[in-house]
Amino acid sequence: MSGSRFEVVAPFQPAGDQPKAIAELVAGLERGDKHQTLLGVTGSGKTMTLAHTIAQYGKPTLVLSHNKTLAAQLYGELRQFLPKNAVEYFVSYYDYYQPEAYVPSTDVYIEKDASINQDIESLRLRATSSLIEREDVVIVATVSAIYGLGDPVEYRKLMVHIQRGEERGRDAILGDLVRIQYGRNDVAFEQGSFRVRGDSIEIFPAYAEQAIRVELWGDQVERISKIHPLTGDTISVLDQCAIYPAKHFVTERPTVERAVRLIRDELAVRLAELKSAGKLLEAQRLESRTSFDLEMLLEVGTCAGIENYSRHLTGRLPGERPACLFDYFPPDFLVVADESHVTLPQIGGMFNGDRARKLTLVEYGFRLPSALDNRPLQFDEFMALVPQLINVSATPGDFELGLSNGVIVEQIIRPTGLVDPEVDIRPVKGQVDDLLAEIRAREQRTERVLVTTLTKRMSEDLTDYLQQAGVRVRYLHSDIDAIERMEILRGLRLGDFDVLVGINLLREGLDLPEVSLVAILDADQEGFLRSDRSLVQTIGRAARHVNGRAILYADRVTGSMERAIAEMDRRRTIQRRHNEEHGITPTSIIKSFEQVRLSTHVADARTEKPQPKSAEKQVDLTDPARRAAAITVLERQMREAAANLE
């Protein structure tokens, strides 16, 4: 599309199947095709294809990924390809999340408990502010994109706009900042706060890396500057600035008062229902909890669990979907589902799990029925919001193929000439010792190894065994937060260690060109983790290295193994034929330290390493002596807490 605000910056031009794929995808978008499928093998440069497609089409784009690790990697790569555009990152800001729940069988109420990662919240706020300010925006997001978010209309309305030369008193500006959830902090100047020094107000936007200084002369704005938050040095002088709210859920006072009236009306109806059904305990519980929340809303404008009242706060009808990230985009935008064979089913499964939990809370008087409308999108709502969708996968599912009527844009030829890895099948007996010998051979060549197991316990035991054998090994598992995962992957790529052990996180999309061996233990155990699509994805992790090879440890060849190996053979035949016809010699992808750092950019978001929060995380609990010592320490801490009535 002519006049695109996007510009791809890359040290190389599209090659292999990339030019054909880009042309076909852009032609489909301009024809108005609602659904397209890109079948791109591992290492074929799907991200570059997407960057060129986005740039040529010229519309704001939402790229959906099914986990934070892959979203972070995509974010880093797209920032490299589109450095002049706003490439942003939008994932769940919870490092830990325990949803509110009630278990009737044991009469146990579990209060919502969460740990919010302020670095990621800042990135989320930057994403929405970019969507409001710019048109050349690419948002890389996880399934968080389908969950409720503050109303974009309210969000825009609450923006504080300051212009040089305007008549505006200091107290008026401070009042506006407090209204949009900024806090005054003259000591620790951090994101989401402001400080006052005489006639100067310094504001650190919740979504920015630089602060704003507003200098007043009486009641007139004399000067606006962008400053370094630590040194206070002026970076640039501005004519005007816009400060967006410090949180997505911010509401004006009249809206809160209107919502409180609606909540009271709903409460009266629900209490009558519960009492007529003889549920007096539930009625008393609901009245007490809701009344307390309403007092908090009127006093401070918020309350614990305010999201459960979102329907009333936004003025929605019963059953109407909540506002979400999609509402911040203009009507005409593009959606890309990366690893669509996993991402789309994940989106489809979110609604039912959330509703089942909340129905119990409503039934037993912990929440009003309107809490059910604080929910993720249903799948049909998601599909209705998507103007145009490109599904991207090395193994597209039947659903995506059906959406695009079986028409596939194939990207099988890699620009590097690399062919799919050869696959060895070896017996399960002695698999660990055989693996150790293979690792030793890779260590000699400074190559990396991925090992995938079936269970968390197996991964832990294997990691311990390899460590005792002197192997530099790390273990990637679901308890590690998004930023630390990227730190681990960066460490593998830069050679801080040689072997990475994991379970499901090693399947889709990880860009690890240094990996020359993928070992799949217990490959003959049919199931989700050893399906043909999973095997193709896992084997593909070695496809970016000229010595790439996969070893499947199995005592029999399952149907999934047979189909996976047949597909790899088909692709390898096409790739070798192309190389022979064009005289191409396969070469490994070699990336510099700076390229690795940029592609794992999210790892830089953490300002300091989190400290272990408990003895369990500091102590090896598999050692009986250390376990006993840890129990003693915990018991002492519990007694002290009890004595202090904590």
State which of 289, 314, 339 marks the end of a domain. 314
- Is position 592 within any domain? no
Give me the amino acid identity at 350.
Answer: M
Give me the amino acid identity at 463.
Answer: T
Residues 375, 230 share a domain = no
Torsion of CA 577, 581, 582, 587, to 10 degrees: 30
- Is position 636 within any domain? no
Residue corresponding to tokens 């035991």: 461
3-state DSSP assignment of residue 113: strand
State which of 298, 314, 330 marks the end of a domain. 314
Residues 197, 98 share a domain = no
Phi, psi of 240 (to 5 degrees): -155, 165
- Is position 219 within any domain? yes
DSSP symbols for 208-274: -SSEEEEEEETTEEEEEEEE-TTT--EEEEESEEEE--SSS----HHHHHHHHHHHHHHHHHHHHHH
Contact criterion met (CB below 8 Å) for 80 and 595: yes
Other residues' Cβ atoms within 10 Å of the Cβ of residue 351:
18
Contact criterion met (CB below 8 Å) for 61 and 432: no
For the chain, residues with pLDDT lower than 50 are 1-2, 508, 607-618
The helix-helix angle for 431-444 and 456-468 (nearest 10°) equals 60
Contact criterion met (CB below 8 Å) for 297 and 267: no
Residues 282, 328 share a domain = no
Q: Which two tokens stand for residue 251?
A: 């509401």
- Is position 591 within any domain? no
- Is position 605 within any domain? no
- The reported pLDDT for the residue numbered 622 is 59
For residue 604, the 8-state DSSP code is G
- The reported pLDDT for the residue numbered 187 is 87
455 phi-psi bin (left φ>0, alpha ψ -120 to 50, beta other): beta
Contact criterion met (CB below 8 Å) for 386 and 400: no
3-state DSSP assignment of residue 393: strand
Other residues' Cβ atoms within 10 Å of the Cβ of residue 257:
11
Residues 236, 165 share a domain = yes
CA distance 623 to 634: 16
- The reported pLDDT for the residue numbered 195 is 95
Give me the amino acid identity at 407.
Answer: V
Contact criterion met (CB below 8 Å) for 90 and 61: no
CA distance 503 to 520: 10
Residues 506, 455 share a domain = yes
3-state SS string for 349-379: HHHHHHHHHHHHHHHCCCCCHHHHHCCCCCH
CA distance 114 to 94: 7
Residues 122, 99 share a domain = yes
- The reported pLDDT for the residue numbered 615 is 37
Contact criterion met (CB below 8 Å) for 152 and 328: yes
pTM for this entry: 0.78
- The reported pLDDT for the residue numbered 609 is 40
CA distance 637 to 279: 40
Residues 472, 577 share a domain = yes
CA distance 236 to 228: 10
- Is position 613 within any domain? no
- The reported pLDDT for the residue numbered 589 is 65
Phi, psi of 86 (to 5 degrees): -90, 95
CA distance 209 to 436: 46
CA distance 17 to 264: 61
- Is position 554 within any domain? yes
Q: What residues form DSSP beta bridges with 94?
A: 116
Q: Are strands 94-98 and 101-103 parallel, antiparallel or unpaired?
A: unpaired
pLDDT tens, residue by residue, 92-138: 888 778 889 999 999 999 988 888 888 888 999 999 999 999 999 99
Residues 569, 436 share a domain = yes
pLDDT tens, residue by residue, 169-224: 999 999 999 988 899 998 889 999 999 998 999 999 999 889 999 999 999 999 99
Q: Are strands 409-411 and 448-452 parallel, antiparallel or unpaired?
A: unpaired
Other residues' Cβ atoms within 10 Å of the Cβ of residue 378:
17
Residue corresponding to tokens 């089942």: 356
- The reported pLDDT for the residue numbered 614 is 39
CA distance 512 to 498: 12
Other residues' Cβ atoms within 10 Å of the Cβ of residue 394:
26
Sign of CA dihedral 520, 401, 384, 152: positive
CATH number, residue 43 = 3.40.50.300
CATH number, residue 221 = 3.30.2060.10
For residue 530, the 8-state DSSP code is G
For residue 167, the 8-state DSSP code is B
State which of 411, 432, 454 marks the end of a domain. 411
Count of domains for the chain: 4
DSSP symbols for 44-56: S-HHHHHHHHHHH
Other residues' Cβ atoms within 10 Å of the Cβ of residue 408:
16
Find the domain containing 295 and state its range.
253-314
Residues 514, 389 share a domain = no
Residues 438, 406 share a domain = no
Residues 170, 120 share a domain = no
- Is position 634 within any domain? no
- The reported pLDDT for the residue numbered 612 is 39
Residues 51, 124 share a domain = yes
Other residues' Cβ atoms within 10 Å of the Cβ of residue 570:
12
